[in-house]
Chains A and B, each alone.
Chain A
Amino acid sequence: MKRERIRNFCIIAHVDHGKSTLADRLLEFTGTVDPRTMRAQYLDTLELERERGITIKSVPVRMNYRAYDGTEYILNLIDTPGHVDFSYEVSRSLAACEGALLVVDAAQGVEAQTVANAYMAAEQGLELIPVVNKIDLPSAQPEEAKRELEEVIGVDAHEAILASAKEGKGIDEILERIVRDIPVPQGDPEAPLQALIFDSVYDNYRGVICYIRVVNGRLKAGQSIRFMATGRECQAEEIGVFKPGMTPVNELEAGEVGYLAASIKTIHEAQVGDTVTDGVRPAGEALPGYKKIKPVVFCGFYPVVNEDYPQLRDALEKLQLNDSAIQFEPETSSALGFGFRCGFLGLLHMDIARERLMREFNVELVATAPNVVYQIVRTDGEILEANRPSDFPDAGQIEEIREPYIRLTVFVPSEFVGKVMQLCQDKRGIFHSMDYITPERLRLSYILPLAEFIVDFHDKLKSTTRGYASLDYEHVGFRASELVKVDVLVNQEPVDAFSFICHKDAAYHMGQAVVRKLKELIPRQLFEVPIQAAIGKKVIVRQNVKPLRKDVLAKCYGGDITRKRKLLEKQKEGKKKMKQIGRVSIPQEAFLAYLNIGKEEED
């Protein structure tokens, strides 16, 4: 029976255009979620998603739908995130679907991620169903949105569905169109099993749980299976579907989306992108899988207490299961001890990873300032990759430093175009192109150093355009730049965690900001502590943390003695939470606040 009655689709859109809210209505309409347990953005289950009101993880759900003609369908929906940092999350979900609802906010029109996600889906051969959402808004311009869909993206929008996820308008039409327009999944249930792992999550009881799309063959509970990339064989202990909670079933057949648990303990055994096949009758080849994604932003994560290093590693491994775009490898810092150099797809991605490690895995960590990967051409002609300042050789051995550039696309109302161009120029951007989408809106494109982009470009863009601009970017390779490495010395000792790379014209200004910030954050010690910023041997900025002059001196007779001792012990405990650099205790905030320096500077 089955395959003809299955439709697999995802919801894609620019950030905040209403994907998760639309998913809510679909869940309600199909009776998938009990109305009593319904809440807004039902599928945003991570604490962080709820707090920040954004989707971070793609979430699959299976719905049963009885169409107008009375036929029963199984609809597998995947709600995806809209933020540019999470586009890898979207791309993986696309591989599990035959179609996508392309949602556009009727008041905002086509934005940068609408374009990026639509192209990504079209490239993978997905059928697109355009949905113009939020038509209930007074400022909605559905006809305008449709025109933009046609002109900017090139989809046929005359059949676009007008909807309001908020008021539940257009939901029935969307469901009917899914059934009508989205292709039946291809695949042969009788062929050897091939199932794509498109995501995974760690569960304390069942180990790694793989989210799979069965492409060919069947997967039965208890069946022996093989992971094709690793060759590991085991038994499918539990298979099931998302309703939206994990619900065991006996069999998943070609075309279906579900999960698989097989007492897998580590990520190395079951990688996202791998193919699961039958242990007895394996498929000839694996599915194409995913391109390994390259992180673009790096920073160091260090446990606050050195002994927690194994916990941090464990937590990173488990988080990586649920966020395969994260990469990490061990590194040591003379200032911070043992930790990990971690790679991310953007600053928001990095921030979310840090928060998730702390909340979901209870590890306390310190994060160093983020940076991009640099290419260094040495005087002897060799090319090095440096993904942190301490990888830089001595200035004398450097012939040329190259940094990654991006092509940035900004969608912006014409009234703000001057400001956005100014911002791009301040960030060392090179003008590329500009064209009108509508008489009031432009698409502006710049070539920009990634390093300048990651610091705070997004926030700045939002504030200069009052939130009316959107952006997307792609990598365009390395280019030579006049960069310098600035070291920061605390009490004459260079603190590697504080070193940074910047354009030579910004070195003084940035050094000044960093030194000032550290001076504020490092508590007074018993001796004067000089803080310096230096390029090579040349000190460019210096300030001193004045020594402590007096502390509390209470009287001390009889029972005061015990009280006093306890106070001193507590005082000492407090210091233990700080990082000891030579003779100086530096509070954790110093390492974190560092990240915000660029931002605060111009506020």
Chain B
Amino acid sequence: MDTLYIGGGTPTFLNPADWESLIEILENGLSFSRGVEVSVEANPDSLNADHMRLWRSWRVKRVSLGIQSFSTEILRWLGRPHDEKQAAEALNHCAENGFSSSGDLIFGIPGQDLRLWHNDLRILSGYVNHLSIYQLTAEPGTPLAGERVASQSEAYPLYRFAQWYLGSRGFLQYEVASFARNESWCRHNLSYWKQGNVLGLGPSAWGYLDGLRYRNVAPLMRYLRREGLPWEWTESLLQEDRAREAAILALRTRWGIRWKTFRRRFGEDISRELGKALSELPPDLFVKRNGRISLSGKGFRLGNSIWERLV
């Protein structure tokens, strides 16, 4: 086991006693490699000193905080229970306890101008070496459905600014939504984009094992009572579709596709087809170096339109 990610919202809901039994289960059930990357997700409002103590004494290295914003109005609009003070405190605690922390920020919120966004990026980048930025979308079926959120062209300056600003502060954009300083990539997330095996545990968790992707049943009681595999849904892609997906995922990252490895994994034909599809697009969307192709800064901004050519 090279990486372990304890996420799914708010693991800080568990009290210290629960955590102790969780750790015991994991230690008994899994075998960790040396240098394993263990991350936990936390919300600024429910993180406390007990959690920190327990995690430090165990294997936790990374804490990923759902900051979202440092503006009170925006946090309130998003319906988040924390405020900007709690966010700063949580980040400070993580630093004091020696965790390498990461934060999420959201952009595209009504009323969020470049000045507010700059402020968010400035504060967070002062605390962390790793951060992710997401654009707000009003998906149907969510509380935000029907809200007027920023359009793609309104969101362009915000995303463009983040690319430039974080770059100037020593961050490298290593994925469409992820930035890291000093090579502090999230190795766990990288394994998704490399189509690596991921064992998903717990209700409604996703996993991927040698080409088979699955989702566990969502209701806790049904998950617990289920005999045998708790899978509620699975899919197994054909080799060709797997290749397309691998290419799309690889192009999310700054390492892109290494053609030699790709050909070996998926064969000559599909590699040539995908290579041709990409070669028909404007060259300034890509960086081509040492037998690799990856997206340029501009390419990252237009990922969807590029990947569409590969499905």
Which of A's residues lie within 8 Å of B, judged by CB?
526-527, 548-559, 561-562, 564-565, 568-569, 571-572, 575, 583
B204 CB to nearest A CB, Å: 9
Is there an interface contact between A557 and B285, defined as CB atoms closer than 8 Å? no
Q: Which listed residue (B207, B208, B311) contacts A569, Cβ 8 A? A: B311
Taken together as a complex, chains A and B put the C-alpha atoms of A548 and B207 apart, in Å, by 35
Of all A-B residue pairs in the complex, the 5 with the closest CB atoms, nearest first, are: A558-B206, A559-B206, A551-B304, A550-B156, A550-B301
27 contacts between A and B (CB under 8 A): A526-B282, A526-B302, A549-B152, A549-B153, A549-B302, A550-B302, A551-B152, A551-B302, A552-B135, A553-B177, A553-B300, A553-B303, A556-B176, A556-B192, A557-B192, A558-B198, A558-B200, A559-B215, A561-B192, A562-B213, A562-B235, A564-B248, A568-B310, A569-B311, A571-B304, A575-B308, A583-B280
Tell whether B75 is near chain A: CB-to-CB under 8 Å. Answer: no
Tell whether B290 is near chain A: CB-to-CB under 8 Å. Answer: no
Which of B's residues lie within 8 Å of A, judged by CB?
132, 134-135, 137, 152-153, 155-156, 159-160, 176-177, 189, 192-193, 198, 200, 205-208, 213, 215, 235, 245, 248-249, 252, 280-282, 285, 300-308, 310-311
Taken together as a complex, chains A and B put the C-alpha atoms of A564 and B280 apart, in Å, by 23
Q: Which listed residue (A526, A559, A561) contacts B306, Cβ 8 A? A: A526
Q: Which residues of B contact A565 (CB under 8 A)?
A: 245, 248, 311
Is there an interface contact between A568 and B302, defined as CB atoms closer than 8 Å? no
Q: Which listed residue (A527, A554, A583) contacts B137, Cβ 8 A? A: A554
Is there an interface contact between B311 and A527, defined as CB atoms closer than 8 Å? no
Given contacts A526-B302, A571-B308, A572-B308, contact A556 B252 (CB under 8 A): yes
Q: Which residues of B contact A559 (CB under 8 A)?
A: 206, 213, 215
Q: Which listed residue (B205, B206, B285, B304) contacts A568, Cβ 8 A? A: B304
Q: Which listed residue (A550, A557, A561, A564) contacts B155, Cβ 8 A? A: A550
Is there an interface contact between A548 and B305, defined as CB atoms closer than 8 Å? yes
A549 CB to nearest B CB, Å: 5
Q: Which listed residue (A526, A555, A562, A564) contacts B305, Cβ 8 A? A: A526
Is there an interface contact between B213 and A561, defined as CB atoms closer than 8 Å? yes
A138 CB to nearest B CB, Å: 51
Is there an interface contact between B152 and A552, defined as CB atoms closer than 8 Å? yes
Q: Which residues of B contact A526 (CB under 8 A)?
A: 281-282, 285, 302, 305-306
Q: Which residues of A contact B153 (CB under 8 A)?
A: 549-550
Taken together as a complex, chains A and B put the C-alpha atoms of A575 and B248 apart, in Å, by 19
Taken together as a complex, chains A and B put the C-alpha atoms of A565 and B308 apart, in Å, by 9
B236 CB to nearest A CB, Å: 11
Is there an interface contact between B304 and A561, defined as CB atoms closer than 8 Å? no
Given contacts A526-B281, A548-B302, contact A572 B249 (CB under 8 A): no
Taken together as a complex, chains A and B put the C-alpha atoms of A321 and B119 apart, in Å, by 72
A583 CB to nearest B CB, Å: 7
Is there an interface contact between B311 and A568, defined as CB atoms closer than 8 Å? yes
Beyond known contacts A526-B281, A551-B302, A553-B176: 15 more, CB 8 A cutoff: A526-B282, A526-B306, A550-B153, A550-B156, A551-B303, A551-B305, A553-B303, A554-B177, A555-B132, A555-B177, A556-B177, A557-B192, A558-B207, A561-B213, A564-B248
